[in-house]
């Protein structure tokens, strides 16, 4: 759909953003006018299960003040304000939390939500949305143009261009009095390099990079956010974090369930696009990057891009694909689907720090456990006088979910009169160490970062491009049927060939040791 706004209006908008975005401090929310948060796709599952609950938790903790914030839902569904509130309510209250005070907070929060119905390429719908936002801003006594507008696209990427065009031409702040408009877009950002670049080009013609927040919720996880602190604030790890001491690094994502009703969606993307190319690759960047000049977002993102540019092309003999038995029984999945539900991919970083160290990215569905973790395996002790090599190597394990923890596997003397050794651990389990502390959900942190204007935990355009350059050739070989997934039984570790690939890469599995989260 072609839209031709006046040149003067676009000029005014551009002038507004060149001035208003330049002075934002990422560590504080600017003292500006009221805040309007618009959730597009408000009637969908993502909005109901993630976006609105995250907003509610920010509200409960005082980060969203009722005196200045208002929330708008926008979708095609013809429902009333109360209908949307009813749909959201049950996702905000969980079991023991349903106390009278909690219920009161829920009702107060729901009253901040207003619903606007319209299609995603309709000028009329977005003009109505702009009218509702403007009326709220006037009611909050905000000076024109000083308000903040955050648009969260809980939508499929296919409608991003039309929605962003409508926002750009009909819902932006109109003056240069310090207000801003920011757009949060969800993954997947394309299906390969060309589609991602096309999407970036379309969004880049409408907004500048400081206005676009490409959200990857893994970057909001507590233990992922701790990676930079662990690496660069502790003298202990600085001399060890290199190819001289580390043999291999695994970054793992495992689910103990299958596609469960999402077969049609998942079959379009597969486990590499869905998990490895974004979530696990983001974690790899934080594990492998050099120390940035400072914690300013651009310096951190510069170092992430440098790492990605150093990744060598993926070789077919360092990839194992799998598809669990029964996956094709889903009526929404093609009978001859070649889509992998499991993948182990070895990436190699060609630089001074990591030359020769395999980074093993492993993800799968319908496996024997549910977890996400980083496993740093150190080299064998030279001249091992205790003959303890058979017990296993030292490992630093950073468990991202569930039961967040960091623990180091060590060889120690077994208690008793004999000089024999066993493997044990030094353990920082968050549930034990930080009792009574609620770890925030990733979406809470990232939405708050968007309000603050901190882009550290969001994906920059050039970073997205390099990430797709790494995986697109492999994905095209899979799409063309040149690489086939191996069958594996649900509830297993995946194809046995994956464990063989790990052993070939140098990973030594510890037998007889199981980490058990400590309890009170």
279 annotated active-site: yes
How many other C-beta atoms lie within 10 A of the C-beta of residue 460? 19
For 290, counting Cβ atoms within 10 Å of its Cβ (0-12 exposed, 13-18 middle, 19+ buried), the class is middle
How many other C-beta atoms lie within 10 A of the C-beta of residue 108? 12
Report residue 131 CA to chain centroid gap.
33
Of 70, 136, 279, 457, which is the active-site residue? 279
The percent of the chain in helix, strand and coil, each rounded to the nearest 5, is 40, 20, 40
How many other C-beta atoms lie within 10 A of the C-beta of residue 516? 9
Q: Cα separations (Å) of 305 from 113, 192, 359? A: 39, 18, 17
In angstroms, rounded to a whole number, what is the distance separating the alpha carbons of residues 329 and 212? 39
For 200-341, strand residue ranges (E) read 212-215, 246-254, 319-324
Q: Cα separations (Å) of 410 from 131, 377, 423, 425? A: 62, 11, 6, 5
In angstroms, rounded to a whole number, what is the distance separating the alpha carbons of residues 255 and 491? 10
Q: How far apart are the first and last CA of the chain?
A: 61
In angstroms, rounded to a whole number, what is the distance separating the alpha carbons of residues 400 and 397? 9
SS3 460: coil
Q: Which residue numbers are catalytic?
A: 279
């Amino acid at each position: 759909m072609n839209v031709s706004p006046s040149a003067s209006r676009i000029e005014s908008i551009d002038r507004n953003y060149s001035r208003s975005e330049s002075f934002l401090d990422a560590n504080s929310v600017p003292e500006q006018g009221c805040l309007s948060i618009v959730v597009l796709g408000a009637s969908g599952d993502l909005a109901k299960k993630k976006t609105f609950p995250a907003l509610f938790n920010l509200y409960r903790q005082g980060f969203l003040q009722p005196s200045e914030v208002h929330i708008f839902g926008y979708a095609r569904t013809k429902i009333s304000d109360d209908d949307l509130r009813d749909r959201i309510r049950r996702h905000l209250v969980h079991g023991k939390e349903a106390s009278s005070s909690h219920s009161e907070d829920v009702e107060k929060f729901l009253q901040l939500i207003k619903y606007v119905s319209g299609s995603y390429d309709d000028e009329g719908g977005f003009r109505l949305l702009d009218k509702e936002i403007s009326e709220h801003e006037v009611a909050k006594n905000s000076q024109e143009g000083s308000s903040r507008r955050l648009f969260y696209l809980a939508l499929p990427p296919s409608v991003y261009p039309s929605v962003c065009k409508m926002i750009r031409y009909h819902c932006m702040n109109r003056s240069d009095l310090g207000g801003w408009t920011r757009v949060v877009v969800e993954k997947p950002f394309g299906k390969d390099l060309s589609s991602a670049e096309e999407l970036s080009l379309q969004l880049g013609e409408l907004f500048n990079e400081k206005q676009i927040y490409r959200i990857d919720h893994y970057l909001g996880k507590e233990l992922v956010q701790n990676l930079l602190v662990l690496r660069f604030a502790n003298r202990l790890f600085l001399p060890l974090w290199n190819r001289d001491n580390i043999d291999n690094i695994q970054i793992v994502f495992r689910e103990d369930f299958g596609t469960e009703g999402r077969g049609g969606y998942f079959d379009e993307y597969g486990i590499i696009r869905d998990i490895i190319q974004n979530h696990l690759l983001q974690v790899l960047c934080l594990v492998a990057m050099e120390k940035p000049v400072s914690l300013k977002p651009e310096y951190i993102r510069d170092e992430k891009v440098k790492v990605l540019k150093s990744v060598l092309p993926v070789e077919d003999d360092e990839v194992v694909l799998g598809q669990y038995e029964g996956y094709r029984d889903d009526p929404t999945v093609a009978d001859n689907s070649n889509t992998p539900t499991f993948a182990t991919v070895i990436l190699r970083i060609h630089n001074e720090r990591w030359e020769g160290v395999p980074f093993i990215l492993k993800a799968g569905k319908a496996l024997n456990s549910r977890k996400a973790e980083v496993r740093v395996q150190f080299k064998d002790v030279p001249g091992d006088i205790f003959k303890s090599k058979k017990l296993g190597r030292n490992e630093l394990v950073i468990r991202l979910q569930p039961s967040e923890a960091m623990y180091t596997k060590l060889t120690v003397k077994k208690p008793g009169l004999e000089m024999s050794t066993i493997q044990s651990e030094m353990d920082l389990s968050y549930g034990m160490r930080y009792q009574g502390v609620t770890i925030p959900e990733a979406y809470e942190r990232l939405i708050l970062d968007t309000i603050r204007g901190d882009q550290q935990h969001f994906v920059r355009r050039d970073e997205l491009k390099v990430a797709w350059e790494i995986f697109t050739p492999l994905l095209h070989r899979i799409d063309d049927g040149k690489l086939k997934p191996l069958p594996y039984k649900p509830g297993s570790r995946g194809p046995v060939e994956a464990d063989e690939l790990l052993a070939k890469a140098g990973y030594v599995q510890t037998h007889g040791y199981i980490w058990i989260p400590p309890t009170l």
